[in-house]
Amino acid sequence: MNEKKLKFNSRLIHGCHYKDALGSANVPIYQTSTFSFANADEGAKCFAGESNAYIYTRIGNPTITALETIVADLENGFGGIATSSGMAAVNTIIMASLNPGDHIVSTDGVYGPSRLLMENHYSKFHILSTFVDTSKTENIRKAIRQNTRMLYIETPANPTLAISDLNACGKIAKEKKLLLVVDNTFCSPYLQNPLDYGADIVLHSMTKFINGHADIVAGMIVAKDTNLYQQIRSMMIITGCNMDPHQAYMVIRGVKTLGIRLDKAQDNAFKISSFLEKHSKISWISYPGLKSFPQFELAKKQMRGSGAMISFGVKGGIDAGKKLMNNVKICLLAVSLGGVETLIQHPASMTHSKMPKETRVKAGITDELVRLSVGIEDADDIINDLNEALKKV
């Protein structure tokens, strides 16, 4: 069977099948730290790189390999590198790709910890970053310096949902000889494939939509070619941020339902966003599926759906937002996203609280912004929940 000819949902189910000696229908959990060799010569070949046999789980493991294979296939990439978390993926990419004196241009509304890592920690090693609104291509060009080596974007951005033009970013990266890295967590490969638009590396927090059940923390890097793959994989191995086999098993279980989960969540998100758009206590709403969304046409062009993330402003600012979140009954007040349950949170006081207010507001993360990760419940129940909570605002 050639998985490349299968449609997406079929690839989710069959693309990571690992055929073992006993014919297991699911990929087994190879819960072992080390693997034995048939003889000394085989062991020597493994360490010389002349054999693909497994040596040690930090270096590779059959359960983890199965997950890396399916996600790389779904992203149309050369190879996947599984990591212990999404932030481990971000860190591994930067460590493997940049040197002291290099410069990064990144999305200003990028995931808070990613920005803090670049801005506060890599700056200590003389790797500096400039953060701009990458949804405006001219901002990217203006920010590029002679020593810029990486263009790191998140689209849609977290939590503003601003969309960067992947095709334009790919052209700029090629022209300026930059490494284009795209955080594809909000979309997952079900909705968007950045490598098809010129990206060199795609990363995911698989904690989110790919796993989809809020029970595992995991990351994934997908490289477009063999050289990048080997470079990044070597860094992952030496820094020890590898995934655990049980993590991989759980994510494989989750990835099989990615399509049907996102279809339902997207349908819910459109209904909920349409309700919020008309509500008198909502000052603005950002959802790529609404025609009022400023980048509606771009979203349709590069995404195969509008996603399950909604951002909106509650009239009355931070206090009104807190009242809303304190009065919902079904929506869970929690960070993270992409699970089967609907989550609501306030970025200014939670995920992006360590950003200076002036910087945060400049990136569009205002005090009134509330982020909703829509789950797969019945949409009417979530709408009623939000409506009742808004009555108390």
The catalytic residues are: 58, 111, 183, 208
Strand ranges across the sheet with 309-314: 282-286, 309-314, 369-373, 343-345, 332-333
User: If phi over 0 gives left and psi between -120 and 50 gives alpha, with beta otherwise, what is residue 223?
Assistant: beta
Signed CA dihedral, 72, 255, 181, 297: sign only:
positive
DSSP characters over 337-393: --SSS-EEE-TTTTTTTTS-HHHHHHTT--TTEEEEE--SS-HHHHHHHHHHHHTT-
Based on DSSP, count helices (H) and strands (E) in the chain, helices before strands.
15, 12
Residue whose tokens read 């993330």? 309
Specify the 3-state DSSP secondary structure of 190. helix
Determine how β-strand 201-205 pairs with β-strand 79-83: unpaired
Specify the 3-state DSSP secondary structure of 175. helix
DSSP characters over 123-137: GGGT-EEEEE-TTSH
Q: Report how far residue 309's alpha carbon sits from residue 329's, in angstroms, rounded to the nearest whole number.
A: 19
Question: For residue 245, is the peptide bond before it cis, meaning its omega torsion is within 30 degrees of 0?
Answer: no
Give 51's DSSP letter: -
Give 201's DSSP letter: E
Q: If we measure between CA atoms, which residue out of 221, 188, 231, 195 comes closest to residue 84? A: 221
DSSP characters over 102-166: -EEEEETTS-HHHHHIIIIIGGGGT-EEEEE-TTSHHHHHHH--TTEEEEEEESS-TTT-----H
DSSP characters over 223-285: ESSHHHHHHHHHHHHHHT-BPPHHHHHHHHHHHTTHHHHHHHHHHHHHHHHHHHHT-TTEEEE
